[in-house]
């Protein structure tokens, strides 16, 4: 077994190609070999791959833009690799209702067929059988659905899904044109917004609306969307969907897909204004003197009240700002009494002013006092 493993690894290093399992969106390595299994179709190939590769019967594969369906998966006679026959798809199934599109299929049986010089089938008469990967999109197909492919319109008579492959039995029917549906879908949003709320809760947690554009059930990249508000006095909306709420009222927002003149409008959104929160705490600065005298201690008391009643508050901080560079021989902050004692001996500071600011960050409190330095004499 070790010899087989080493031989397979060397072959993979020399010859491996990268394929993609489309539905699983996983890349894996394969080695291609000519078909010697008696399979008649010229578009059938043999691949070898590691046993943990995302491959099963019916798996849709992509290699350099070409699509293949896995027809079988040999029972492993070793624990090194698997072997499968794959066949290139020759059609794309789009239901004429537009509800299911882009399914890669292989026509396996027909009653009559014409071919172009490049081998592409261009005309089928009578019944045909298609195979495709058994996935979530295939399960959306229904009996009676019609599609245009292989040079005509066909109706699905029966569906059988087994062992990873769906078989569609179809019959030729009168020609019809597919339906094209354009639609816009709004992203999630709330129907109420409160201006000034502490959590800023609103449209999806942020003030922005989003849409997704579809042609049938296929998402369209980079559509041109134009937004408008039903009342710009209540709220405005930018062309990227960002909403600015202005005042209380009701408002709707409309998105227009300009390329196809398709619109979608929100439900009515109620905007309210949050009452400003009243802080029960107050802070002030008191002192015996409104001035600071040179060579004399001056005490500033930081008074805190809760609902008008004096109450000590821990966590006060202060700062002194001035255009003059003050030097204090005493600068003592008593956190128990919430007092600040200041003293300067600098006669050059006479006539100068400073601002004393005291604040409490958590309680959002602040008080200031402008102080002038004077001489005792």
Q: What is the pLDDT of residues 270-312, one digit of tens each?
A: 998 877 678 899 999 998 878 999 999 999 999 999 999 999 9
* Burial (Cβ within 10 Å: 0-12, 13-18, ≥19) of residue 246: middle
**Strand residue runs (E) in 165-265:** 165-173, 182-186, 192-195, 211-215, 218-219, 225-229, 235-237, 243-245, 249-251, 253-257, 262-265
pLDDT for residue 206 is more than 50: no
Question: What would the mean pLDDT of 157-167 be, rounded to a whole number?
Answer: 96
Check if the beta carbon of residue 87 is closer than 8 Å to that of residue 122: no
Same domain, 307 and 268: no
Query: How is residue 273 written in tokens?
Result: 């204004």
Q: What is the pLDDT of residue 190?
A: 87
**CA 127/CA 152 separation, integer angstroms:** 11
Check if the beta carbon of residue 165 is closer than 8 Å to that of residue 86: no
Q: What DSSP string describes 312-361?
A: --TT-EEEEE-SS----SEEEEETTTTEEEEE---GGGTT-EEEEEEEET
**CA 68/CA 61 separation, integer angstroms:** 5
Same domain, 114 and 135: yes
pLDDT for residue 268 is more than 50: yes
Question: What would the mean pLDDT of 351-364 be, rounded to a whole number?
Answer: 95
pLDDT for residue 170 is more than 80: yes
The structural domain count of the chain equals 4
**Strand residue runs (E) in 36-150:** 44-50, 60-63, 66-70, 81-88, 91-93, 103-115, 121-133, 146-149
What b/e string do you get for 292-301 counting C-beta neighbours within 10 Å, with b at 16 or more? bbbebebbbe
pLDDT for residue 36 is more than 80: no
pLDDT for residue 2 is more than 90: no
Question: What would the mean pLDDT of 154-173 be, rounded to a whole number?
Answer: 96
Question: What would the mean pLDDT of 95-105 be, rounded to a whole number?
Answer: 88
Longest dimension (CA), the chain: 122
Q: What is the pLDDT of residues 232-250, one digit of tens each?
A: 999 999 999 999 888 889 9
- Pairing of β 298-306 and β 339-343: antiparallel
- Residues listed for the chain: 377
Q: Which of 213, 239, 273 is the last residue of a domain?
A: 273
Q: Which of 173, 199, 231 is the last residue of a domain?
A: 173
Q: What is the pLDDT of residues 279-289, one digit of tens each?
A: 899 999 998 87
CATH number, residue 235: 2.60.40.1080
Instruction: For the chain, give the mean pLDDT.
Output: 88
The domain in which residue 226 lies consists of 182-273
Same domain, 104 and 58: no
pLDDT for residue 118 is more than 70: no
Q: What is the pLDDT of residue 196?
A: 67
**CA 360/CA 61 separation, integer angstroms:** 65
Same domain, 214 and 268: yes
Same domain, 13 and 84: yes
Question: What would the mean pLDDT of 254-283 be, rounded to a whole number?
Answer: 90
**Over pLDDT 90: what percentage of the chain?**
68
Same domain, 74 and 117: no
What b/e string do you get for 116-137 counting C-beta neighbours within 10 Å, with b at 16 or more? eeeeebeebeeebebbbbbbeb
Q: What is the pLDDT of residue 292?
A: 94
**CA 254/CA 232 separation, integer angstroms:** 12
Question: What would the mean pLDDT of 325-334 be, rounded to a whole number?
Answer: 95
Q: Which of 145, 173, 201 is the last residue of a domain?
A: 173
Looking at the whole model, is its pTM more than 0.85?
Answer: no
The radius of gyration of the chain's CA atoms, rounded to the nearest angstrom, is 39
Query: How is residue 325 written in tokens?
Result: 């560079």
Tell whether the torsion through CA atoms of 288, 291, 294 and 300 is positive or negative. Answer: positive
Q: What is the pLDDT of residue 186?
A: 95
């Amino acid at each position: 077994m070790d010899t087989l493993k080493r031989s397979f690894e060397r072959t993979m290093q020399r010859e491996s190609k990268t394929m993609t399992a489309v539905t699983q969106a996983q890349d894996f390595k394969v080695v291609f070999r000519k078909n010697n299994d008696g399979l008649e179709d010229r578009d059938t190939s043999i691949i070898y791959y590691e046993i943990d590769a995302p491959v099963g019967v019916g798996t849709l594969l992509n290699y350099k833009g070409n699509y293949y369906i896995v027809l079988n998966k040999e029972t492993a006679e070793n624990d090194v690799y698997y072997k499968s026959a794959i066949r290139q798809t020759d059609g794309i199934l789009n239901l004429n209702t537009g509800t299911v599109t882009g399914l890669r299929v292989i026509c396996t049986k027909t009653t009559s067929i014409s071919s172009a010089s490049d081998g592409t089938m261009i005309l089928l008469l009578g019944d045909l059988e298609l195979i495709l990967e058994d996935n979530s999109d295939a399960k959306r197909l229904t009996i009676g659905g019609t599609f245009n492919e292989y040079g005509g319109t066909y109706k699905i008579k029966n569906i059988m899904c087994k062992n990873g492959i769906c078989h569609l039995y179809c019959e030729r029917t009168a020609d019809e044109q597919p339906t094209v549906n354009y639609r816009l879908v709004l992203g999630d949003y709330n129907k109420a917004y409160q201006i000034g709320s502490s959590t800023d809760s609103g449209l999806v947690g942020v003030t922005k609306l989003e849409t997704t554009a579809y042609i049938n059930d296929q998402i369209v990249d980079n559509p041109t969307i134009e937004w408008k508000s039903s009342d710009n006095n209540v709220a405005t909306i930018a062309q990227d969907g960002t909403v600015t709420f202005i005042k209380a009222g009701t408002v709707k927002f409309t998105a227009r897909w300009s390329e196809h003149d398709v619109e979608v409008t929100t439900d009515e959104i109620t905007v309210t204004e949050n009452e400003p929160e009243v802080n029960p705490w107050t802070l002030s600065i008191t002192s015996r003197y409104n001035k600071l005298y040179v060579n004399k201690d001056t005490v500033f008391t930081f008074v805190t009240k809760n609902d008008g009643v004096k109450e000590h508050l821990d966590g006060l901080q202060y700062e002194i700002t001035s255009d003059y560079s003050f030097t204090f021989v005493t600068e003592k902050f008593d956190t128990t009494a919430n007092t600040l004692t200041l003293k300067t001996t600098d006669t050059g500071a006479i006539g100068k002013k400073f601002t004393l600011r005291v604040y409490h960050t958590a309680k959002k409190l602040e008080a200031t006092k402008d102080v002038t330095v004077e001489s005792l004499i």
